[in-house]
Structure 1
Amino acid sequence: MPTVHIRYDNLRPAVKQVLFGRSRTESARWTAFRSWYGFEPFYCTPGEAGAHEKGGVEHEGGRFRRRHLVPPPEVESLAELNERLAAIDAEEDTRHIQGRPTSVGFDFETEKPLLHPLPADEYDTGIDLTPVVHRNGRVTVRQCYYSVPARFIGAKVRVKLRANEVWIFDGRKVVARHPRLTLRYTYHDILDHYLEILLVKPGAFAGAAALAQARAEGVFTKTHEAFWAAAKQKCGDREGTQMLIEVLLLHRQLPSEAVVAGMTTVLKVGAISTDLVAIEARKALENTPADTDDDADTGFVDEHDKHDGGEPARNGVAKVISLHTKRLPPDLRPGLPDMSKYDRLLKPLPTTTTTTSTTAATPKKGTSA
């Protein structure tokens, strides 16, 4: 931050009323902002009398606009515009002002030690709003619509309207973040906010506006499409769509890359199941090696066909972990006890009555009956 003051041309967000001389009635938010960063504003005199007080700032602003912003750039969002301006600003560091031997970036690095450091925490310039969530799961902010998780329908939430983003809070917890929209009556939906509703009404999934936006943004990938098609072929449209929605709910617990890896493995194996996707996603997250064999039908391996913990995967077939070789702890017992002595208890012992009766009933050799 500059050590003395910063010159301002009586910008309207800061100055509510121009008084005599350099006295001004400032807005409350501007006073909080400059107090946070600890600098003093210097307000220039209005009109031609104060034109010389701003130096070459207005000339440099016009030059920058004519060189880089004419014609106006066409962008999809404010974030993309900010990225372009940041790249242009980096290029400006190599520019030489006429009559100076050093570049703009070199001069700034020379002056940097003379400035005060910025505060450790950034100042929150957002505006707090408290709209009510509509029955369609959206809130209205400055004539634009943003989705909110379905459980907040009918409730009042706190919205932080920032320059580039819109944050939606439940208490102190952020439940939704959207890029700020610039056109009135436009909307931005997040597919995850409607999954509980679509799980009950899977028929509305294919035509949902949130799904179309997820496809356009690349969140709903080709792997999701392939899994959806395979699930519908196996279980039908309704059950297959519900299976896909259950997989999408896994994104709340596991990283997106792990879930996509789990779906990819399941599609290669050919066993379409939500539980298998969850297992393979956790295996991909943990980087756990698994065992396999040449069972061409399912991609799984029989435990009795294993040799030395299994063979590596072939042709991209998923591998299955052997519980005995990989998961169960080793048996620390020295050996099994000898049970041969107890086997005699399983044989009945002959009694005296039985022996006598048998002898009397057997005729001797050479006698008649």
Structure 2
Amino acid sequence: MALPIADAAASIRFAAREAVLALSRAELFASIRRDLREDPQLFQRQVAERYGVHWRTVRRAVSSAVPPERKAGWQRASVLNPAKDWIDAMLREDLSAPRKQRHTVKRIFERLTSEHAFTEASYSSVRVYVGQRRPQILAEEREKAKHLEGMVPQVHLPGEEAEVDFADVWVRVRGQAVKCALFTLRLSFSGKAVHRVFATQAQEAFLEGHVEAFRALGGVPVRHIRYDNLKDAVRSVCWGRSRVENERWTSFRSHYGFKAFYCMPGIDGAHEKGGVE
């Protein structure tokens, strides 16, 4: 049976709200700025309603890509933290187990007690965590299965894409050989590249290299820029191309209005950024 229109609209609003709650502050600001940039006819009030935030939040995102700092709040650590890895391992076992042999919450709770002598968490805490984590683990495994081995030739249009990387370079300073970092941003279509030498590969050098490259090239690639897992941009690697970005880097991208394309980790992504490797 189809839902009434009012119920369907409420479900859509709820789903949108859940998606917004999953965003970090920097990602929320970046999404707001992107929507307003791609559709100049949008009012700030409409964007506020779209993301379920106050209009002041939209105004702050427009004025700066960097979210204002929040006062640090105290949060008690979950008593379940020491057992989360054990629970995750049990849930991953269930992915290949017959349906009738998969873990119930009761069985997981019993194994924590008998095998790991873990009694700090209540049954309800384990039940809540399992209810949240089970679909996440299933989604992670399905995402991994999407990445099949193969080779696809790269085709680039003018001004669409670029690649970035750091490399070691030795220079002579006052007659002494000094190891430095060579920043390279290379356009994928024309092969035109901008190089800058820095004393280190610190994030300040990483960001300054982009600014210098955009200035020398006279603009920003309109599609995306390819990266590997430089710690200046990526805080942690999840699965596939999913990354948790450094918030300063997210705000920097939002300010200049370009997207980041992250290559597959290891040998699988070695060919995806061959222009600067």
Q: Which has the larger radius of gyration?
A: 1
TM over 0.5: no
Give the TM-score taking structure 2 as reference length: 0.21
- In the superposition, the TM-score normalised over structure 1's length comes to 0.16
The structure with more strand, counted as a fraction of residues: 2
